[in-house]
Amino acid sequence: MSNRTLAILKPDCIRKNLIGKVIAQIQDAGFKVVALRMVKLTPDAAMGFYEIHKERPFFKDLIEYMTSGPCLPIALEKENAVEDFRKLIGATDPQKAAEGTIRKLYAESIQENIVHGSDSDENAAKEILHFFSRKELLENYAS
Ligand code: CMP
């Protein structure tokens, strides 16, 4: 069991002015923010991050959406982080997400779904390093 996961507040979350509300919900659920940055992804960076989906029919739209404005990657820490964070955000499709989850509360569609959460401990470790250096993760951890 890992204690870290990567969240990304996606461009629709930023456009809707929901950064504060979503981070408050994440922290109220017991997650600690280890590192955070606002970044506008280039198409290459978005394609690299979502490489696993490159054969999917929605890939092109996904890249357009993820590069349509800034997003906010956040490295989070909590016991059982990956599973607990996925419970907090709810199903990918907001119509199928449980009541009270972040996607149920705020997401428009299966694509514009407000927030990303890593789907396994292995991917969490890779995804965190996609956005944050080992050095800054260590420095932040010590503070
Ligand atoms: P995320 O959890 O970041 O992982 C992949 C993303 O692709 C997902 O959230 C959605 O934004 C998008 N996605 C997944 N499935 C679909 C789909 N069927 N149609 C459109 N977009 C999708």
Catalytic residue, candidates 72, 115, 116, 128:
116
Question: Phi/psi at 31 (nearest 5 deg)?
Answer: -85, 140
- The residue range of the domain holding 77 is 4-137
Ligand 1 residue neighbourhood (C-beta within 6 Å): 53, 58, 62, 92, 110-111, 113, 116
pLDDT digits over 21-38, tens only? 999 999 999 999 999 999
**pLDDT digit string (tens) for 64-122?**
999 999 999 999 999 999 999 999 999 999 999 999 999 999 999 999 999 999 999 99
DSSP notation for 109-135: SSSS-SEEE-SSHHHHHHHHHHHS-HH
pTM over 0.85: yes
Q: If you take atom 4 of ligand 1, which residue's CA is the nearest one?
A: 116
Read off the CATH number of the domain in which 63 is found: 3.30.70.141
Q: What is the count of structural domains for the chain? A: 1
130 catalytic per annotation: no
143 inside domain: no
User: Do 13 and 74 touch, CB atoms closer than 8 A?
Assistant: no
